[in-house]
Amino acid sequence: SAVISQKPSRDICQRGTSLTIQCQVDSQVTMMFWYRQQPGQSLTLIATANQGSEATYESGFVIDKFPISRPNLTFSTLTVSNMSPEDSSIYLCSVPGTSGYTGELFFGEGSRLTVL
Amino acid sequence: DQQVKQNSPSLSVQEGRISILNCDYTNSMFDYFLWYKKYPAEGPTFLISISSIKDKNEDGRFTVFLNKSAKHLSLHIVPSQPGDSAVYFCAASGASGTYKYIFGTGTRLKVLA
């Protein structure tokens, strides 16, 4: 399984500011995914980050609010822009465990953001 | 509309006994299912998966059962250990090759010593 590191692990942010979360994987992967877990909720897919092309966003998530970069096959960033208290969540980076049709996802340890 | 539901937010089990965690889904197009365990301050850890072409998959103490007609899957942990105390999520996917999973809200398992 891939080793996935996220920074920061947690942060407290002020309303209206932006924060960038970094995700580093120890192997090259084609697809990287960003998930959000709001308090007491399930994990929700924000977007798929593909190297060399724009990220693909899920319904309810837009690039202006959650810009994503994917400069190479081992690294991605997610920015949470113009934050409000509703953005207080755990943000998780994940990568596929196998190639092919489908399979398990492996997750980083998450970045817990609290917006005041 | 919650397509993947875990109706029990919490479960307590004695050490050594069986833990049964349940998950229901509404979309008959889902064809691959995962279970994850999550400790506080850590990311979810993959436990076991099952494809819709099977009705059972076993890995050590963990067994997942799938009942497609009932749109129901369950995770059995036997025997339960205190280290199994965590939040368990089920996830389902029906979009071929996209790894787009829909997660349940989780069940908090507490194994009592």
pLDDT for B25 equals 96
Residues, chain B, total? 113
CB-nearest to A102 from B4, B93, B106 is B93
Number of helices (H), then strands (E), belonging to chain A: the values are: 0, 11
- Radius of gyration, alpha carbons of chain B: 13
- As a whole number of angstroms, the distance between CA B34 and CA A74 comes to 24
Count Cβ atoms below 10 Å from residue A15 Cβ, excluding itself: 11
Question: A92 CB near a chain B CB, below 8 Å?
Answer: yes
- As a whole number of angstroms, the distance between CA A85 and CA B1 comes to 24
pLDDT per residue as tens digits for the range B34-54: 999 999 888 999 999 998 899
- As a whole number of angstroms, the distance between CA B88 and CA B75 comes to 9
Confidence of residue A105 (pLDDT cuts 50, 70, 90): confident
The whole-angstrom distance between B68's CA and the closest CA on chain A is 19
With tokens 């920061």, the residue in question is A8
C-alpha angle A10-A14-A16 in degrees, rounded to nearest 5: 120
Indicate the burial class of A29 (C-beta count within 10 angstroms; 0-12, 13-18, 19 or more). buried
Say yes or no to pLDDT of A101 above 90. no
Q: Which of B3, B99, B102 to mutate to test the interface with A (most CBs of A within 10 A)?
A: B99
pLDDT for B99 equals 76
Confidence of residue B94 (pLDDT cuts 50, 70, 90): confident
Say yes or no to pLDDT of A100 above 80. no
Indicate the burial class of A4 (C-beta count within 10 angstroms; 0-12, 13-18, 19 or more). buried
Identify any residues that bridge with A114 across adjacent strands, giving them in sequence order: A12
Q: What is the rounded average pLDDT of the residues B91-105?
A: 81
- Inter-chain CB proximity B32 and A31 less than 8 Å: no
- As a whole number of angstroms, the distance between CA A115 and CA B14 comes to 39
CB-nearest to A102 from B32, B45, B46 is B32
Q: What is the rounded average pLDDT of the residues A34-41?
A: 92
The whole-angstrom distance between A15's CA and the closest CA on chain B is 23
Compare all CA atoms of chain B with the CA of A101 and give the residue at the minimum distance. Answer: B97
Say yes or no to pLDDT of B75 above 90. yes
Say yes or no to pLDDT of B71 above 70. yes
- As a whole number of angstroms, the distance between CA B18 and CA B12 comes to 10
pLDDT for A31 equals 87
Q: Which of A23, A43, A101 to mutate to test the interface with B (most CBs of B within 10 A)?
A: A43
- Inter-chain CB proximity B103 and A102 less than 8 Å: no
User: Under a CB-based contact definition with an 8 Å cutoff, are residues A108 and A36 in contact?
Assistant: no
